[in-house]
């Protein structure tokens, strides 16, 4: 640096600041809206000004509408129970657990502090009663009782939680317990919470519990317990039916909320809010923004026939490809008239065995020539390998009944 440049540098910096110049590190890219369709261009006003981190996501497509520090690992408090409920919901849908199954509370489960339903050691409740206690009252003792029922111990259940987090691609998440009670290294991020919330919502029965405002336990006993949902938005915001609140002195006030209007469901997450009133107000602001600015355009609804799946050497040669979920894309309301088209790309030939839920292709959605969504398509049912007699019969059929 020359002596002349050193003398001029202060004057150059003053001129730059006065002129509103922007300094950017060498090689830094300009900020652009994320998402293929640019849906999450930042709103003109900050939607979650008081939150330490936040995210607003379309539940169907996973498109991010808005985010703020969404990848920062933070203590989640009882939002942890979204993953707990997800593993319970999977066990129920897989047939490993029934809502009517009895669960006996261990001394360890009954010893949990914080929010609880005051389980006694040896007390029995059904899976459904414990699940609603977790979903509505954020009961730590009910969370641990369910964890022990599924995995044998909370430690093993936590291993399953972290395994599921890895399967979902949650990079900022590490669980230490099933309840969210303060523990060193127990962290997740707003984006990871939105992803696990979206996965939980695939089990549609869960909103029966997360969306209920009040219920009772131990009715007709001398110890009745009144359950009141800790998420007050289920009562005071139209369309909200979940999912989970959280609070500790370390995490502050957190919430993963979901609301549905028509075919459009959104997920809004805030972490580190200063108080419950601000938390609820900022979640409501995020939901207002989503419903005012966007809409969901269904491509296929759950149960629609998308095509036919040809299965080589399968017990069934072909099965109707029925949508296991609703496939939709998020569009701004002023873009509703633009031409949207889709293309179904199946893996063909597909060899047996095929398991229900296996990825068998992709659904690509375009606006003009631009890809705006790319969904995995799953097998609607399990199809095993065909026996020799079945295969022989097919060959004979082709020989004798060919055109």
Least confident of 57-61, 214-218, 304-308, 337-341: 337-341
86 pLDDT exceeds 60? yes
Instruction: Note the CATH number of domain 53-296.
Output: 3.40.710.10
Per-residue confidence (pLDDT) for residue 181, from 0 to 100: 96
- Which position among 60, 68, 81, 178 bears the catalytic label? 81
Hey, where are the domains in the chain? 53-296, 301-389
How does pLDDT run across 131-146, given as a tens digit for each residue? 999 999 999 999 999 9
How does pLDDT run across 163-198, given as a tens digit for each residue? 999 999 999 999 999 999 999 999 999 999 999 999
- Mean pLDDT, the chain, rounded, equals 86
How does pLDDT run across 321-332, given as a tens digit for each residue? 989 888 899 989
- Which position among 78, 115, 143, 189 bears the catalytic label? 78
223 is catalytic: no
16 pLDDT exceeds 80? no
- Which position among 53, 60, 106, 138 bears the catalytic label? 138
Least confident of 28-32, 66-70, 119-123, 216-220: 28-32
**What is the 3-class SS of the chain, one letter each residue?**
CCHHHHHHHHHHHHHHHHCCCCCCCCCCCCCCCCCCCCCCCCCCCCCCCCCCEEEEEECCCCCEEEEECCCCCECCHHHHHHHHHHHHHHHHHCCCCCCCCEEECCHHHHCCCCCCCCCCCCCEEEHHHHHHHHHHHCCHHHHHHHHHHHHCCHHHHHHHHHHHHHHCCCCCCECCCCCCCCCCCCEECHHHHHHHHHHHCCCHHHHHHHCCCEEEECCCCCCCEEEECCCCHHHHCCCEEEEEEEEECCCEEEEEEEEEECCEEEEEEEEEECCHHHHHHHHHHHHHHHHHHEEEEEEECCCCEEEEEEEECECCCEEEEECCCCEEEEEEHHHCCCCEEEEEEECCCEECCECCCCEEEEEEEEECCEEEEEEEEECCCCECECCHHHHHHHHHHHHHHCC
Q: Which residue has the higher pLDDT, 71 or 319?
A: 71
244 is catalytic: no
Looking at CATH, the fold of the domain delimited by 301-389 is given as Peptidoglycan synthesis regulatory factor (PBP3), Domain 2 (2.60.410)
81 is catalytic: yes
Do 53-296 and 301-389 fold alike per CATH? no
Q: How confident is the model at residue 401 (pLDDT cuts 50, 70, 90)?
A: low
Least confident of 99-113, 147-161, 214-228: 214-228
């Amino acid at each position: 640096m020359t002596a002349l440049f050193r003398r001029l540098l202060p004057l150059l910096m003053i001129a730059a600041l006065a002129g509103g110049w922007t300094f950017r590190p060498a090689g830094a890219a300009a900020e652009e809206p994320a998402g293929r369709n640019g849906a999450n261009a930042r709103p003109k006003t900050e939607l979650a000004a008081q939150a330490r981190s936040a995210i607003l996501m379309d539940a169907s497509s996973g498109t991010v509408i808005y985010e703020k520090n969404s990848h920062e690992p933070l203590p989640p408090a009882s939002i942890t129970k979204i993953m707990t409920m997800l593993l319970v919901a999977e066990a129920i849908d897989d047939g490993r657990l029934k809502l009517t199954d009895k669960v006996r509370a261990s001394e360890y489960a009954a010893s949990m502090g914080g929010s609880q339903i005051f389980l006694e050691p040896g007390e029995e409740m059904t899976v459904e009663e414990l699940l609603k206690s977790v979903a509505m009252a954020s009961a730590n003792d009910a969370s641990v009782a369910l964890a022990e029922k599924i995995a044998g111990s909370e430690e093993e259940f936590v291993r399953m939680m972290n395994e599921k987090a890895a399967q979902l691609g949650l990079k900022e998440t590490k669980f230490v317990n099933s309840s969210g009670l303060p523990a060193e290294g127990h962290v997740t991020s707003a984006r990871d919470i939105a992803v696990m919330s979206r996965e939980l919502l695939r089990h549609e029965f869960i909103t029966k519990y997360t969306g209920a405002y009040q219920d009772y336990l131990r009715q007709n006993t001398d110890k009745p317990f009144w359950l009141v949902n800790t998420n007050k938005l289920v009562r005071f915001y139209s369309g909200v039916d979940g999912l989970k609140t959280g609070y500790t002195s370390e995490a502050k006030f957190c919430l993963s909320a979901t609301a549905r209007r028509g075919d459009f469901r959104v997920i809004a997450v805030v972490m580190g809010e200063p108080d419950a009133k601000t938390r609820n107000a900022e979640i409501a602001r995020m939901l207002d923004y989503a419903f005012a600015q966007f809409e969901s355009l269904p491509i296929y609804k759950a149960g629609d026939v998308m095509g036919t799946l040809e299965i080589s050497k399968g017990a069934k040669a072909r099965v109707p490809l029925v949508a296991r979920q609703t496939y939709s894309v998020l569009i701004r309301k002023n873009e509703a008239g633009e031409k949207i088209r889709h293309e179904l790309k199946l893996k063909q030939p597909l060899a047996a065995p095929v398991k229900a839920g296996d990825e068998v292709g992709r659904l690509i959605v375009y606006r003009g020539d631009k890809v705006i969504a790319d969904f995995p398509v799953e097998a609607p049912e399990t199809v095993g390998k065909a026996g020799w007699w079945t295969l022989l019969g097919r060959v004979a059929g082709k020989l004798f009944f060919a055109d």
